[in-house]
Amino acid sequence: MKRNLILTLLIPLLLSCGKESSHSSGTPDTITVDGAGYSRAVYEEGAIVMPDKHAVLSGALHPYFKGFEMLVSPSESHPGGTMTADINGPVYILAPSSPIPSGWQLVADSSAGEATCNVSYGTSVMAVSIFSKVVKAGAPVKIPVLDGVLPAIPLARKIHWAQEGVSGLAGNEVEVEGSLVDVRPVKRGQTAFPQHDGYVFAEDAPAAVGGNLYCAVGLVDGQGVRRMRFGSGETPLIAVDAASVPGWEATGKSFVLGTLTYQLFTLPSYTTGTWIDMPAPAASAHCPFVFGHVIHVSGQKEFGDVTISEVARLRSGTISNVCIAKLPDGSLLAACTGAKEAEGLSMYRSTDHGSTWTRYGNYSSAVNLIENYTNLFVLENAVYLFGVAAGRDGFRVSKSTDGGKTWTIPADASSGLILSGTYHTAQVPCIVSGGRVWRACETYNDDDTSKQPFMLSAPVDADLLDAASWTVTSTVSQTSYYIGTDRISSMIEGNAVEAPDGSVVNLIRSNSAASSNYATILHVTGTDALSYNPATDWVEMPGGGKKFTVRYDKESKLYWSLTNPHTEGTFSHAGIYSDGLQLSLRRNQLVLISSPDLRTWTKKAVVLEDPDPFFHGFQYADWVVDGNDLAVVVRAAYPEKRGLPVRQHDANKFIFLKVKDFRNI
């Protein structure tokens, strides 16, 4: 208690220091930091404090310091350096709460005791605090070099950084432009090229480049970086598989990647912040490398109208389970898993038809149990969330009566646990037909060919959280058949749809290696039977072999969907797709299609596309009608400032877009 009281009084005492020498005292308005390896941030909720881990600041932030500037750096790089105050008084750092850096004092929040907040990245959470040291004006003090993941972070109202670059380029930053450029650490065991497991950095690579650096690189047989520029704290450094580079000076150092030997080169004369082209030595046959402490890829194309969220750390986790609903008040509610804001499912709300989005409610997958294969369904004044718990455990339903702020807990058969066991599904639509609510689902098995489709239904006026309200059809056990020579191998992720004759059907994704352009109609008989005829119930549908959402629009009297038709051509590269890219993973085009009868489909418009199929994927789109437009959310994979996703399947972005005046396209 005595220690806490002393610490609580620390800031007022520091702020009331008397004058010393010719300088005024108090909290320095400005500090000068001399040291490389930093980038700028602000002490506020959500600040990124380790860019390489996308580590986020959250929790009980000290109110006095909110809005202060910070200099942050990648994890474990510990740039150090010095900080110099403009007047006598305390200087500050943000650092792990324990152990206290030697010679520094913990700063407490007088209103809340010892103020600690958190740095979160992936599943890791670290407690951090603010520490101070009283200094004399003009006298540099060392920024402590810490053991551990988080480097010490200088903190002040205004920071002048001696190594700050020109034209907006930070002193420790390398900016690159090019074709399919990735950013990855140069460390032992790290694969050197994207989508290629055959070239791995050994101990000689970090030793050759001189420490904990990152590299910008493309596909092993690609162009990669076209041009680059370096901050004032960076030395231009590249590596090519050639003995000489015109205009560049050999460092005499090299590293080996499999059968390739890369030589390092630097530039004898370089003007900070100037763009320079990547040289192309005649003898070089493989992609070059560019090295630096912090590397950003500029010139990347953004897709969609709004990025709602993204993964916290590129290539560590993916965006999944994207879904959307229009609430009775006209606002839009969207959800996904894998977003940087939280573990499990995150929800977002828009009150301006999707122009802006904010994280919404206090949904927690750990508390509310549903975290996978989710869809949102509005019925009267309630919104329902369907899905499964961790480990695909139990098909469950949760209910919100306040527009998605709070949710019931589907823990047992009376509160939303509809089916016990493990199940597979996706963000598939629910419909009301014949006085009943309908939804598709499948039994779970690791092998898609063993998953068996079925349908669930319940009276529309029943308690949808009560398992006794629901009826389950028979499963379809035979999910393989032939359409000519094209073999349908499995059926998953079906859509409950009311057919033109008023019956309920399951229009289901049907996987085939030869075309990926078929769906299958499964017919519901009564409420307890599901069946199909392989001779007559196949449907030629663009992208029918990939996930799609189908809904009926009463105004146009058409069924609509957004799908991924396979792009024509042979796509391969020296790496994981050396044998060619299978049709089921060609997701670089999202098209709007319609049908009057569920059997004849017409392409209406290309909504999103990119010529690259290896890293671009616009998939698992979910949508609702919003006036004359479609409001669409997409699980998207594409190159960004941080580099490349693993592949087109592994989404790094959660995006929203409008298909305007869709009925008249």
Per-10-residue mean pLDDT, the chain, length 665: 35 35 53 83 86 80 89 77 90 93 87 72 86 92 89 91 69 92 96 97 95 93 95 93 94 96 95 92 89 94 96 93 97 96 92 95 92 97 96 97 96 98 96 98 89 98 98 97 95 98 98 92 97 97 97 98 89 94 95 98 97 97 98 98 97 98 96
* Contact indicator for 542, 565 with CB cutoff of 8 Å: yes
8 Å CB contact between 530 and 602: no
Q: Given this model, what pLDDT does residue 538 score?
A: 97
Instruction: Tell me the fold of 306-664.
Output: Neuraminidase (2.120.10)
Predicted local confidence at residue 15, as pLDDT: 37
**Contact in structure between 119 and 97 (CB atoms under 8 Å):** no
The pLDDT value given to residue 567: 78
Residue whose pair of structure tokens reads 């881990």 in the numeric block: 53
Spatial CB neighbours of 426, under 8 Å, sequence gap ≥ 6: 321, 373, 375, 492, 493, 547, 620
In this prediction, residue 135 carries a pLDDT of: 93
CATH 2.120.10.10-classified regions of the chain: 306-664
**pLDDT for the residue 112:** 58
CA distances from 267 to 14, 166, 229, 256, 280 (A): 48, 18, 12, 22, 14
- Measured CA to CA, the distance from residue 593 to residue 489 in angstroms comes to 24
Q: How many CB atoms lie within 10 A of CB 171?
A: 25
Calculate the alpha carbon distances from 545 to 489, 492, 539 in Å: 10, 9, 11
Comparing C-alpha atoms, which of 473, 523, 489 is closest to residue 503?
A: 523
DSSP state of 469: G
* 3-state secondary structure (DSSP) of residue 100: coil
Tokens 């073999």 — which residue?
487
One-letter amino acid at 593 equals: I
Determine the pLDDT at residue 117: 87
> Which residues lie below 8 Å from residue 24, measured CB to CB, with a gap of 6+?
87, 88
